[in-house]
Amino acid sequence: MLLYHFAIDYAMKSGASAGYAEQLRVLCKRLPWQVSELTVANIDGYLTQALHSLAPQTVQNHRRMLITLRRAALRGNLLVDDCTGEVRRVKCPRPLPRAWSHEEIRRLIQAAGEMPGGTQKCRWKILLPAWILVAYSSGLRLGDMLTLRHDSIRGAKVALVMAKTGRPHVVMLDGAALQAIASLPISGPLVFGGLVGRCVLIRAFRRLVKRAGMAGSGRLLRRSSATYAAIAGMNPSDHLGHMTPGLAQRCYVDPVLVAELKNPVPSVALAVDP
C-alpha cells in the first residue's frame, strides 16, 4: 500500500482537520514509499537529506507527521520494524516572534482608510480597516475570518469551530471591531467571505502593508492579538484557541513589546560618585 493512500485513509479515519490532511498529502507526495518502508532508518535518511533543501521548522513538522504515520502503521500491522530506537531529532532554532505594535496597527488602519479601489461589493477603505480591527481583536486565522458568519456573533462574543483544529472556540470582540462589522455591507451569511475572496484579499493586504511603509503580512495581526492578550494578563494560548499549552507564548508573543512595560535596571552611573 502506498504511503500516500495510507496517509489519506488515516486522515479520514482519525477525523483530521482539512489543514492537517493537506499537510499529510503534501508530505507524502515527496515520498513514493510503500507503508512497509516507513522504518526508522528510512525516516532518518529522509530527514537528513531534507535538511539540505528545506527549512528546519518544515523538516521538524515532517518528522512529527512521519512518526504519527509510523505508529498508525504499526498498530495496523502494516509495518514490521525491529528497530526500537527513536527517530533522529531535528534541531530547530526558534526565532523571536515579531508582532505589530498598537502604533503600527493604527498606521495600518489609517493607510487602509485611504486605500483606493475595492471589490464589487465593498470598497477597500471600508473593508480593510474592518478586517484589521476584527483580526486583531479576535486573533482568528485568515481562513476562520473568511468563514466567519453573522450568526456566529452573539453580542460581543464570537463562537465558531476552527478549521485547522476542528475545535469549538469562543472569543470576545472589542467595541471597535463590532462597530467595524456593523459598517460593512451584508452580502450573504458570511461577514467577510461574502465580500472578498482569499487570494484577492491577500494581494490587497500586501499592497496595503507596502503603502503603509511597513513590513510583514496579515499573520502579524494574530501575533499582535496574542501579545497584547498576554500583556493584559490573559492566557494567549486560550485566546488563540491553541491545543498545545504554551505555544502562543513561545511562538506568537513578541517579547520586545512585552518588555516595553518593564523598567530598565538602574543605571550604573547612579551608583558612581562624581
Residue 184 makes CB contacts below 8 A (sequence gap 6+) with 122, 126, 127, 130, 191, 192, 195
Domain coordinates in residue numbering, the chain: 3-75, 102-259
Fold of 102-259: hpI Integrase; Chain A (1.10.443)
Number of C-beta neighbours around residue 221 at 10 A: 27
Residue 262 has pLDDT above 80, yes or no: no
pLDDT digits (tens, 9 = 90+) for 64-74: 999 999 999 99
pLDDT digits (tens, 9 = 90+) for 149-184: 999 999 999 999 998 888 999 999 999 999 999 999
pTM: 0.74
Which residue has cell 558612581?
272
The closest alpha carbon to 67, from 51, 83, 53, belongs to: 83
